[in-house]
Amino acid sequence: MEPPILHVSHLTVILEGQQILRNVSFNAQENETIAVIGPNGAGKTTLFRALLGLISYEGSIVWKPDIKIGYVPQKLYIGSDFPLTTQEFFAFKEKNMKEINRVMSAVRLDMDHTGSKKTIMKQKLGLLSGGELQKVLIAWALVGHPDVLLFDEPTSGIDMSTEGTIYSLLHRLQKEEKLTVILISHELQIVYRYATNVICLNKESVCFGAPKDVMDKENLEKLYGAEVGFYQHHSS
């Protein structure tokens, strides 16, 4: 087996005197999709902050050399009076329109349903729909051809009809762009459908492995409590 693109060993995070994560270990291989599941307050976003090098931690996080990482945050609140257009937003990171057009095309934001060019680049970010804004953020993360994409609740704050489209988009991008994807999700059906491996996290690692092997009644009750309804996966 090839060396992992990411090796996390005995990761522990203490913030303001409180232990947020304890002794978390896992590997990520190239071109796989890892889902992180767990209740609110389990340390999922803290895990991402540690992976991005934004906070101090104990243990080790080792990325493969020269890895480029893209990140899509959980939520980005932008009011309707936010002055920047989509194009101006991209200009903070990339001014080459060829590259901007490439990533916009990758997330299918360059055409409308009739096949005509859209004017989304000239629109203010605050006037975009939730689904459009999320796709803009994904495109922004794709600038520069990253090797890894981290998604913190990629469908948070958007409607259910758009939610399925976003996950389908991520799955397609993972294949087309040859990405390793690590995502936080509460949608267990999505995890079963798309994830190669799943990290069950509740301040420590409850389980790690293929969804069909580790997402059983016992582990889900450890994560969410005995009262949680067990989602039984059925093959379609």
What average pLDDT does this structure show over 43-67? 96
Domain coverage including residue 25 = 1-67+177-226
* 27 vs 81 pLDDT, higher one: 27
In a domain, 4, yes or no: yes
CATH number at residue 42: 3.40.50.300
In a domain, 20, yes or no: yes
What is the number of structural domains in the chain?
1
In a domain, 43, yes or no: yes
What are 134-154's pLDDT values in tens digits? 888 989 999 999 999 999 876
In a domain, 147, yes or no: no
Model confidence band, residue 157 (pLDDT cutoffs 50, 70, 90)? low
Full DSSP string of the chain: -PPPSEEEEEEEEEETTEEEEEEEEEEE-TT-EEEEE--TTSSHHHHHHHHTT-S--EEEEEEPTT--EEEE-S-----TT---BHHHHHHTT---HHHHHHHHHHTT-SB-TTSPBP-GGGSBGGGS-HHHHHHHHHHHHHTT--SEEEEESTTTTS-HHHHHHHHHHHHHHHHHTT-EEEEE-S-HHHHHHH-SEEEEESSSEEEEE-HHHH-SHHHHHHHH-TTSPP------
CB-based contact 86:135 (threshold 8 Å): no
Least confident of 52-56, 142-146, 169-173: 169-173
What pLDDT score does 198 carry? Answer: 96
What are 66-83's pLDDT values in tens digits? 999 999 887 677 888 888
In a domain, 135, yes or no: no
In a domain, 191, yes or no: yes
In a domain, 111, yes or no: no
In a domain, 26, yes or no: yes
